[in-house]
A = this chain, B = another copy of it.
Amino acid sequence: MDEPNIRYLFEPRSIAVIGASQDPSKIGFMIVSNILSGGYQGKVYPVNPKGSEILGLRSYKKITEIKDSIDVGCIVVPAPHVFDAVRECAQEKVKFCIIISSGFSEIGNREEENKIARFAREHHMRILGPNIFGVFSASSSLNATFGPSNIRPGNIAIITQSGALGIAMIGKTTVENIGLSAIISVGNKSDINETDLLEYLLQHDATKVIMIYIEGLKEGDRFIQALRKTTKEKPVVVVKAGRSQRGAMAAASHTGALAGSDEIFDYLMRQAHVLRAESLQEALEWCKFLARTPLPEKEDAVIVTNGGGIGVLATDACEKYGVKLYDDTQTLKETFSEFMPYFGSAKNPIDLTGQATSELYSAAFGASLRSPRIYGMISLYCETALFDIDNFSPIIEETNKQFQAARKPTVFCLVGGTKTEDCVSRLKSHDVPVFTDPYEAVSSLGAMYTYHRYLSQQSEKVDEAPIDVSRVNGVIKRVKEDGRRFLLAHEGREVMEAAEIPMPRSFVAQNLDEAVIGCEKMGYPVVMKVVSKDILHKSDVGGVALDLVNKKEVIEAYEAIMYNCRTRQPNAKIEGVELSEMVTPGAELIVGARVDRSFGPIVMVGLGGIYVEVMKDVSFRGLPLNREEVINMIKEIKSYPILLGVRGEKKKDIDTLVETIIKVGTILTQCREISDIEINPLVVYEKGVKGLDVRILVSAS
């Protein structure tokens, strides 16, 4: 038997409320009341051991009494009775259980929660919750929540891990004139999580934008795959609480999930083309703007202003939020100078000066709209004494419509006193993207441009490298048989060989003949070191020789080392000499890959050597990934210029670095028993790379 289609959770034909109540102060009452007043067209069955009637509906003593088939069972009984209710739902072949009740893993009662989830899974029934406020779905006019009854339908879907914030957000959406296509609380995520819900929302036409409030991840890699798929179709805005270390602790204490490293989360969201907002307010603003405004064709925007100062603030904000300003001075002049007042500026920002009237704004708006080179506009207004703000308001509304029709996204920012604020309120209630601070205005436009940029980067391609998997698995098998988790030096070297990642060659020679023959084979220059358990500080006794460039120098060095060691430490037992390829300096990076507990397999690149821990100049991506993403990842590290060559140095072999990162990622993907690989430093030369040291760990289980 298959799992039920997630659609029935959002568009059930029938719903039973188990724990329905006649008492208006009870959640069991509010849910029935909200379902009825919300206009749900399916069948509603209150269930309560007392039976009788609730809000005019016949109430059933047990769900098993209901003759109809039930798509969703909404459970609001106290925690100790939830399992029984779930069992009865299973008997009735209910498809989804929405468990509102709390008292499970969020207070440490993980056992009962797991038991319920396991039972449901065995009976092909799915669980939302527990510890949630319910589900609102505009498509079926279903408000199965104990939140506000007046949810405005619209095209933004919200998934929230926090119930309290979810209810408060519903209220906020009403105040801010935002319509919702759905809002779902996932709570403890005992079964259904964000990923499952994305499946529905991705194909749900009425949903234009998805907002997710998240504290911690379960099945991070599945979530990220689902996000990648979704963002191809519609923008996703994420707010993650627990950014800070202390915040993450607080998040972990109040939900069951372990909040992963916030920095990695940030990289993975970007890779999945998700817009990450800092605050709820910012997220809601972005959603509103993205839901109402068509995507632009291109990015060049102009700032139109009546004040220089606010124009500069908006310019700063454009840099912060990644809004590209159009800057062909000649075109700007041709477009705007016709009506530009004396003292004005036709550079971008277009400064209409404090003398600007609404007619002048109108002219500038029209010029921007008609220009084939301008694709977006930020319009700023500072209150002035004689300005005709009452005329301005309809102009703004009309301009917004025209720009939307032309697919040129536009934001407005009006700063001033009571009259200005009244104008802002009026425009807001007419769904115009209007703000009172330039940073806020530009932030929304920036989110749109960022998403627009993401769309052009979408790619299905996955790049992997040929790896001798069976050789690697052979090594891993030996390590595991040996009861170890970490690989020894020669084992790590063998894995590197299987992936064709070069390391400095070396060998041990027991006598001069072996040394000479080996060097001739390996090539020069070489380093020679005495091998002896009794000699700890080799260079102190003259046991090391650097930079030997030919056979003659190898012979001389061998004799010198033997002489030095025998005279300075006569009792030492000498086993021979180790000869290694001499490593020349280059750019020292670190390349790694690991299976992260929260996020799944990830790769990392950064500045290597001793600077790894100090500068923390690293960049992450999730696996699988393609060559282009690897290149972006390398470009993100601050020390990228070192690879391009600084101070007269030649450019480094970035192609081979990219290949090496792909190889390391492929090892992790194909050899599932490896949990961690780290090459540090990986020296990148003008041609080729060399890994000087590698650490590899095998999964614990």
Q: Which residues of A contact B (CB under 8 A)?
A: 25, 30, 102-103, 106-107, 146-148, 160-165, 167-172, 174-175, 213, 215, 239, 241-247, 250-251, 253-255, 278-281, 306-313, 315-316, 318-320, 325, 343, 345, 347, 349, 351, 354, 382-386, 415-421, 436-440, 537, 539-542, 610-611, 613-617, 638-639, 641-642, 646-648
Given contacts A164-B308, A384-B164, contact A244 B537 (CB under 8 A): no
Across the interface, name the chain B residue whose C-beta is closest to A102: B343
Given contacts A168-B307, A243-B316, contact A647 B539 (CB under 8 A): yes
A251 vs B313: C-alpha distance in the bound complex, in angstroms?
A: 9
Given contacts A102-B343, A171-B418, contact A320 B244 (CB under 8 A): yes
* B250 and A349 within 8 A (CB): yes
| Chain B residues within an 8 Å CB radius of A638 | 614-616
24 contacts across the A-B interface (CB closer than 8 A): A102-B343, A107-B343, A146-B385, A147-B385, A148-B385, A162-B307, A162-B310, A164-B306, A164-B384, A165-B382, A168-B416, A171-B418, A175-B418, A215-B309, A241-B313, A242-B315, A246-B318, A247-B316, A250-B347, A251-B308, A251-B312, A610-B642, A614-B646, A616-B638
Given contacts A171-B420, A415-B165, A415-B280, contact A215 B614 (CB under 8 A): no
Q: Which of B213, B246, B319 contacts A309 (CB 8 A)?
A: B213
| Chain B residues within an 8 Å CB radius of A241 | 309, 312-313, 316
| Chain B residues within an 8 Å CB radius of A417 | 148, 170-172, 174-175
- Other contacts beyond A168-B415, A250-B349: 18, CB < 8 A: A161-B309, A163-B307, A163-B354, A164-B384, A168-B310, A168-B382, A172-B416, A175-B421, A241-B313, A242-B315, A243-B320, A244-B318, A251-B312, A254-B351, A279-B439, A539-B647, A613-B641, A614-B639
A16 vs B347: C-alpha distance in the bound complex, in angstroms?
A: 38
Given contacts A171-B383, A307-B162, contact A312 B345 (CB under 8 A): no
- Shortest A664–chain B CB gap in Å is 23
* B247 and A162 within 8 A (CB): no
Of the listed residues A168, A171, A347, A440, the one surrounded by the most CB atoms of chain B closer than 10 A to its CB is A168
Of the listed residues A313, A384, A386, A639, the one surrounded by the most CB atoms of chain B closer than 10 A to its CB is A313
- Shortest A110–chain B CB gap in Å is 15
* A437 and B280 within 8 A (CB): yes
* A279 and B174 within 8 A (CB): no
* A243 and B319 within 8 A (CB): yes
A306 vs B164: C-alpha distance in the bound complex, in angstroms?
A: 8
A677 vs B525: C-alpha distance in the bound complex, in angstroms?
A: 39
* B172 and A415 within 8 A (CB): yes
* A164 and B440 within 8 A (CB): no
A256 vs B614: C-alpha distance in the bound complex, in angstroms?
A: 42
Of the listed residues A161, A385, A539, the one surrounded by the most CB atoms of chain B closer than 10 A to its CB is A385
A306 vs B103: C-alpha distance in the bound complex, in angstroms?
A: 16
| Chain B residues within an 8 Å CB radius of A169 | 415
* A247 and B279 within 8 A (CB): no
| Chain B residues within an 8 Å CB radius of A174 | 417-418
* A245 and B215 within 8 A (CB): no
| Chain B residues within an 8 Å CB radius of A616 | 638
A611 vs B588: C-alpha distance in the bound complex, in angstroms?
A: 12
- Shortest A435–chain B CB gap in Å is 10
Q: Which of B242, B253, B419 contacts A345 (CB 8 A)?
A: B253
| Chain B residues within an 8 Å CB radius of A385 | 30, 146-148, 167
* B310 and A167 within 8 A (CB): no
A315 vs B251: C-alpha distance in the bound complex, in angstroms?
A: 9
* B315 and A439 within 8 A (CB): no
Which 3 residue pairs spanning A and B have beta carbons closest together?
A: A171-B417, A162-B309, A164-B307
A163 vs B615: C-alpha distance in the bound complex, in angstroms?
A: 43
A170 vs B647: C-alpha distance in the bound complex, in angstroms?
A: 52
| Chain B residues within an 8 Å CB radius of A437 | 279-281
Across the interface, name the chain B residue whose C-beta is closest to A107: B343
A641 vs B255: C-alpha distance in the bound complex, in angstroms?
A: 35
* A254 and B641 within 8 A (CB): no
A347 vs B253: C-alpha distance in the bound complex, in angstroms?
A: 9
| Chain B residues within an 8 Å CB radius of A541 | 648
* A254 and B312 within 8 A (CB): yes
Of the listed residues A148, A343, A383, A638, the one surrounded by the most CB atoms of chain B closer than 10 A to its CB is A383
* A382 and B164 within 8 A (CB): yes
A174 vs B417: C-alpha distance in the bound complex, in angstroms?
A: 6
* B313 and A280 within 8 A (CB): yes
| Chain B residues within an 8 Å CB radius of A243 | 316, 319-320
- Shortest A550–chain B CB gap in Å is 14
Across the interface, name the chain B residue whose C-beta is closest to A607: B615
A102 vs B344: C-alpha distance in the bound complex, in angstroms?
A: 12
Across the interface, name the chain B residue whose C-beta is closest to A164: B307
